[in-house]
Amino acid sequence: MAGSRRHGLRIAAALTLCGVAACSSGPERARGSSTSTSSRTSPPSTSSASTTSSTTTSAGTATRAWPTYYHDNARSGAASDGPASPDGVRRQWSSPELDGDVYAQPLIVGDRVVIATTNDTVYSLNARDGSVEWKNHLAEPVSGSSLPCGNVDPVGITSTPVIDTSAGRIYAVGMVRPGRHMLFALDLETGHLRSSKRVDANGADPAVHNQRGALLLSEGKVFVPFGGRDGDCGDYHGRVVSVDVRSADLGTVKSYTLPTKGEGGFWAPPGAVDAGDGTFYLASGNSSSDGDYDYGNSVVRLTTNLALRDSFAPTNWVSLNNGDVDLGSSSPVLLSGNRIFQIGKAGTGYILDAADLGGIGGARNSAHVCSGGGWGGIAHDDDTLFVPCSGGIVQVTAPARRLRCRVDRELVDARTDDRHGRRGVERRH
């Protein structure tokens, strides 16, 4: 589970149209039988969208697409139309006052910026001047004081939605009164609610499960990760819920529960990372086990049918559990050469084989990347990563079997001679 960090944007959303790397950390820290189950359906909300202004796209306005957390299903945080250098980044506008905190990453489709708030409201802003084109207050959020623990108040939409650009649909998950999590499907052009469905896993108590990780749209399904709340209260587990969205109405709901003794939540803001082959990767937080391995503090690979395929855990997963030192404070990063990079609160970076995660202790390489740990989304391009550490951004390169970190103009190079971590360290100035 995570410590208490809040990086929500209160009242106004200020947009900077930038490019290759934009790293962030997330607020509500939480931790997280490989059996798929069905969940019941809730009737659609009766709320309607309200349009406050409308504009027409000018011929000279560039068309942009940032429809999911960090741009794409690999969570790269990289866009080819960004500025050539930081000197080209500047604030273009600030929006009018919004109705709540913004924990979700803003999304962009064409001349439209989509923002979601903890008041369960979704806004469409004009990308040229920040004016509100439409907004839809979907439901009433849950008061933080009514929950057994947590550090967000109120609790509404705290995860990043996803936009299906071909269908013109926005999918967002919010916690709503009296205390349940709902998936909402909205029309991108008008904001009108098209459908909604409850997405709490069977047997899961919504009061102790937090939906912080970004939504993933893949193979006609929306995947929704769950962890716990700040404070680790109650009986929660890492869970993933999938909803079939191929029809106009939201379809079958299934869920996967990580088979931990307790906890082991999927709470990192980037959510699941799509491998593009019918599987995706997630990293779990610490579990309550101090004996038998139960997939806490692990990188796991699931199929889109929610079956567990593979896993990795550091050899010290028990001590990480005992110290509340989550591996899953960030999501896995897909690298070239069929590799994965993962870093957690301990600040150790791991290189894994994406086709064979290696089980306990099976990393190809590992090195200390930063003090205070890595948090949130990791922007990357080819083999270069920008890791948001507690002390600032650390640039990491991962050529072949190496991890190279640039911090304060020092270059640390960790090499590995074999899969299980024999390595040498060089420091260059």
Q: What pLDDT shows up at residue 407?
A: 56
Which stretches of the chain drop beneath a pLDDT of 70? 1-63, 400-402, 406-429
Sign of the Cα pseudo-torsion (1, 72, 21, 399, in order): positive
Question: Whose structure tokens read 């990063």?
Answer: 333
Q: What pLDDT shows up at residue 371?
A: 85
Q: What pLDDT shows up at residue 1?
A: 54
**Backbone φ, ψ for residue 368 (5° rounding):** -75, 120
Q: What is the 3-state secondary structure (H, E, C) of the chain?
A: CCCECCCCECCCCEECCCCCCCCECCCECCCCCCCCEECCCCCCCCCCCEECCCCCCCCCCCCCEECCCCCCCCCCCCCCCCCCCHHHCCCCEECCCCCCCECCCCEEECCEEEEECCCCEEEEEECCCCCEEEEEECCCCECHHHCCCCCCCCECCCCCCEEECCCCEEEEEEEECCCEEEEEEEECCCCCEEEEEECCCCCCCCCCEECCCCCEEECCEEEEEEEECCCCCCCCECEEEEEECCCCCCCCEEEEECCCCCECCCCCCCCCEECCCCEEEEECCCECCCCCCCCCCCEEEEECCCCEEEEEECCCHHHHHHCCCCHHHECCEEECCCEEEEECCCCEEEEEECCECCEECCCCEEEECCCCCECEECEEECCEEEEEECCEEEEEECCCCEEEEEECCEEEEEEECCCCCCEEEEEEC
Q: What pLDDT shows up at residue 302?
A: 99
Question: Whose structure tokens read 């059996």?
Answer: 35
**For residues 339 and 352, is the Cβ–Cβ distance under 8 A?**
yes
Instruction: Please give the Cα distance from 373 to 313 (Å, whole number).
Output: 17
Which residue ranges form the domains of the chain, and what is each CATH number? 14-428 (2.140.10.10)
Q: What pLDDT shows up at residue 24?
A: 31
